[in-house]
Chains A and B, each alone.
Chain A
Amino acid sequence: MQRRVLIKSAVLAALTAMISPATSYAANDVLKIGFVGVTSGPAAAWGISNQRSMETRAAWINETGGYKIGDTTYDIEIVAFDDQKDPKRAIAGMEKMAQEEIHYVVGPNVDDGAAAVRPVAEQNGIMYFPYAFPKSLYQAPASNAVLGMVANYQSGPAIYKHLMKNNGVSKIAFVAANESDPLSQRDSGAAAAKELGLEVVSDSVTYQVDTTDFTPVILPVLKAKPDLLVLSGVSPANAPQLIRSARELGYTGLISTETAQDAKVLQEGAGELANGFISVGGASTPELASDMMREFVDRYTKMFGEYNDESNTKVYALEYILETLKANPEGLTDVEAFKTTMDTFEAPNIYMVGDAKLSYVGTTSFGQKRQVAVPLVVNVFNNGEFETMFVATVD
């Protein structure tokens, strides 16, 4: 008897759990936005911070009544697909989005995945927002990809110029993981440095992503005595170890990267040795964050237990998609209308203080507006926190 009651209760509980999300969406129509990116394996942190940022914002919107586009209010549903950093899986993910008739997708996170999904996106009328830097994705005749962040060939020169002027940097060295993204970022970084008149003293040293001791990796780089050591495309997992090895070997110069990092990871992995480390961030430093940004961080923390500073740059893509659709509701079913709107689109940037705007840029780099205008915030790490070093814009 007791067992029967137990089984009935379990079935009832399961049914309730299955029905309840549906009822919560019942009031509004549902707008599905896709995410195709890496949420498992060594680069999981990149994609998970992406996906969680989208889920946090979607839950926030749904909780406060939905998002009005034209005359209809929508609840936002995030449809996520883990591509495992594998281009074949990324294609499968984009095909899944097409089958679900999703027209707007955030991701993929890496160069080869973003390049692989291009034909699927173009054939199925999908606009996608990769976190990948190859210019061919954003230059005509390509027109469906929108760069979701600041590229290293945009942030790198800005950082080098600043350090040349303010810190007298003249010799620069690059070290990169032996993978396509970091290597291409190293090459473009070295080219930009040479163009600025810096002496590139080392740019051939690479490392495996699973390296457990960076001392032998860093030693040959430090022998070249650079003023600035650039960790090209470094993942948050490797950054603290590289910094720690360099400092423990007596390096006293500057260290920087053009990727986003997490303050807690740096603090745990390198402690005070990471002080002075320069990286690219978003708008959540105390000087720049708006109340909305602070609330986003709070909600993210409540939903997932811990905030990831990488989300500072990843909070924007979903906002851009929704705001552009709000500006032209025809985009809901017609991505060509979305593309047309991109040329003149402008909306307030709710995540930054002041009168910062959301708009599409990229004319200088790509010849067309295929990049979201996120602030180029360059941070410096000090005692467990990021401080704003300078803010620039990309045109």
Chain B
Amino acid sequence: MEQILANGLYLGAQYALIALGLTLIFSLMNVLNFAHGQMYVFGGFVTYTVVAQLGLPFIVGLFASAVVLAVIGALIERFLFRPVIRKSHREESTMLLAAGIAFFLDAVILLIFGEKQRGVPKIMDGVLNWDFRIIMPYDRILIGVLAIGMIIIFILFMQYSKTGRAMRALAQDRVAAQLMGVEVDRYSMIGFALGAMLAGLVGGLLVTITGINLGMGGPTSIKAFLMIMIGGAGVISGAIAGGFILGMMESIGLTLLAAYGGITYLVIFATLMVFLAIRPQGLMGKPWG
């Protein structure tokens, strides 16, 4: 049981961090960013390049992933989403744009980084073995702790910084925030950059554990959508809750349902369908959006 909880917490921390970026972008701009998974993959490849190819320390790779993805996010918002949102009020326009960006990033990743799975050396050796009740490598513990630390920093930033407050105001009521002097364009760009940065950071963190490859983008986006649907789209606390719930469900399912083959995700999807039928806005979302 202890092992199931430990696995669930570790998975939940990384999932929550992935979902945070997606929900932030959705709350600020009402954009479903289908390219979120590709941004995660791009971040992983940047860390890989810096650490494995250039031989620089892991922390430098992580920093590079954050910066590169923040810049990419800002450029995507400024030159792609902003004009489309200005010209079209149809939601499918931004959805199509996001899907297009996902395909584009896939192609760019293939061209720049190739088709192979990549990984960086372990950042910490050794395995914690607590009387065979919890077995967890130290690097996983470190990555889990870092992920939780980043979630806390993000919450504090959104809660207490001027930028964070402005973005929360935008998310709550765009028109009212504008009337109160919040620069919508500026904070939308910062929000998108921050969302992309979070995706890049998780990619950078996980490249030390799971490695990274071209095909991870799409499935990561799907899981991220799953999490924000559980927690409630556009709600920060909902994304965190969704991440931890999905992580825990996976951990429990994979352990208890191992004898029944690949039934874990079937159960998760079926449960989610029933849950959404009862509460379509998710755990913490509002029915009116």
Contact = CB atoms under 8 A, between A and B. Distances in A.
A250 B135 contact: yes
A164 interface: no
Interface of A: 39-45, 48-49, 178, 204-210, 212-213, 215-217, 219-221, 236-237, 240-241, 248-250, 262, 264-265, 268-271, 305-306, 308
Given A216-B4, A265-B117, A41 B262 contact: no
Given A42-B213, A210-B216, A210-B219, A264 B116 contact: yes
Contacts of B117: 45, 236-237, 240, 262, 265, 268-269
B122 A44 contact: no
Contact of B114 (A41, A216, A250, A306): A306
A308 B118 CA distance: 13
B122 to A, nearest CB: 7
From DSSP, what is the main secondary structure of chain B's interface residues?
A: helix
Given A210-B223, A220-B255, A41 B218 contact: yes
Q: Which of B117, B216, B218 is the most central at the interface, judged by chain A CB atoms within 10 Å of its CB? A: B117
B160 interface: no
Contacts, number: 123
B14 to A, nearest CB: 7
B127 interface: yes
Given A210-B216, A237-B211, A268-B52, A308 B116 contact: yes
B209 A45 contact: no
Contacts of A306: 114, 116
A332 B7 CA distance: 58
A41 B215 contact: yes
Contacts of B121: 268, 271
Given A216-B255, A248-B127, A268 B211 contact: yes
Contacts of A271: 121-122
Given A41-B218, A268-B52, A240 B211 contact: yes
Interface string B210-225: 1101111011100100
B258 interface: yes
11 contacts: A42-B215, A178-B261, A204-B261, A206-B261, A212-B210, A213-B11, A215-B7, A215-B10, A241-B211, A248-B127, A269-B119
B215 A43 contact: yes
